[in-house]
Amino acid sequence: MEIRKIRLGNLLLPSNVLMAPLAGYTCYPFRMLAYGLGAGLCCTEMVSANALQYQDRATRRLLITTEQERIRAVQLLGGNPAVMERMAGSELLKDFDIIDINMGCPVPNVFKSGEGSALMQDQKRAAAIIRGCKRSGKVVTVKCRTGIREDDMFAAEFVRMCEDAGADMVTVHGRSRSMMYDGRPYEKEIEAAKAAVSIPVIANGGICSAEDAENMMERTGADGVMVARYGLENPFIFSELTGMPCEKTAFQVVLEQTELTARYYDETYTLGYMKKLASNMMKKRRGTKQYKERLYRSGSLEELREVLALIFDRGNERG
């Protein structure tokens, strides 16, 4: 695929290969890993605007960042335009350059609360949220789906509304809300969305290899791709797609992730995050299943490092 930079307001994304916001995974250490391997943009995990306004401790932990993060983007979830506007412009988010509005989350409790993909059913309210977030002076992007049901897709109409309301970029997950995370993405819907607007449109969904990313770009004409869970299994996908040189082995990556996480988070969080990340990265590695139980039983960073060596320290393997 053709790698190019993307202009968003006064920001210039270094590549058009993006990492999706993933709850429980896209914390500061993982974002730094993806950026180092060539990702053009990484977002925080989904942050609830309602929880943020009460300065919930767990929610504030999602906002950890430093000046080392080249472009800082926070994904904000909410359905109340006034609350979203207030939080987008709040001191809590002062370090972030981009507000990414979640209009695609399909999970039932989010949908029933009128947030995430439910906003696609109420374009007037969705537009008010975009306009309110734009008043923060930050770049505003939107992540949405192709529609609510497979028999009612309206991605092109929805992204036109996003552009009219002031969005700087839209990412379209090629599945409807009813499809959740399964089924072949509707590439034609992404193609139609791209043709409907002048702002950048990013294609997301079903990208499980470099070949998938290339095919998605070719079939949709999108400005870039957003990798989701495959980026956890194979973070090196960013290097493969962008040509960013990388000499690190998988073992070096997990060790660096462990140390960086321990620097900014407590041991309990570090152990939980690293167990999940290691579990994803070891999925297609032969002879490692025998260590999975030991990985999850690790009760200290010392034990964790020992089992990570057993799983990943096998010569100079990258993936």
pLDDT in tens, 173-197: 999 999 999 999 999 999 999 999 9
Position 271: which residue type?
Answer: L
CB within 8 Å of 100: residues ≥ 6 apart:
21, 43, 73, 74, 75, 76, 140, 141, 142, 143
pLDDT for the residue numbered 314:
64
Res. 285 pLDDT band, cuts 50 70 90: confident
Angle at 226 between CA 150 and CA 37, to 5 degrees: 160
Per residue in 193-225, pLDDT tens? Answer: 999 999 999 999 999 999 999 999 999 999 999
pLDDT at residue 316 tops 90: no
Flag whether pLDDT at 228 surpasses 90. Answer: yes
**Nearest partner of 160 among 191, 106, 198, 129, judged by Cα:** 198
What does the pLDDT look like over 63-97, one tens digit per residue? Answer: 999 999 989 999 999 999 999 999 999 999 999 99
Closest CA to 115 of 175, 32, 51, 210: 51
Q: What percentage of residues in the chain have a pLDDT greater than 90?
A: 92
pLDDT at 144 over 60: yes
Residue with tokens 């968003």: 8
Strands, E assignment, the chain: 6-8, 11-13, 17-19, 41-48, 73-77, 98-103, 139-145, 147-149, 152-153, 169-173, 201-204, 224-227
> Region 245-257: what's the mean pLDDT?
95
- The tens digit of pLDDT for each residue in 292-304 reads 999 999 999 999 9
pLDDT at 317: 54
Q: Where are the domains of the chain?
A: 6-242, 250-312
- pLDDT computed for residue 318 by the predictor: 54
- Supply the mean pLDDT for the chain: 95
**In this predicted model, what pLDDT tens digit does every residue of 18-71 receive, in sequence order?**
999 999 999 999 999 999 999 999 999 999 999 998 887 888 899 999 999 989
| CA distances to 23, 49, 53, 157, 300 from 133, in Å | 22, 11, 15, 21, 42
Reduce the DSSP state of residue 173 to 3 states and report it: strand
105 as an active site residue: the answer is yes
34/32 Cα distance (integer angstroms):
6
Instruction: Read off the pTM.
Output: 0.95
Q: Most distant CA pair in the chain: distance in Å? A: 56
pLDDT at 2: 92
Active-site residue (options: 105, 133, 144, 246):
105
Name the CATH superfamily housing domain 6-242. Answer: Aldolase class I (3.20.20.70)
DSSP state of 172: E
> In whole angstroms, how far apart are CA 191 and each of 96, 154, 186?
30, 12, 9
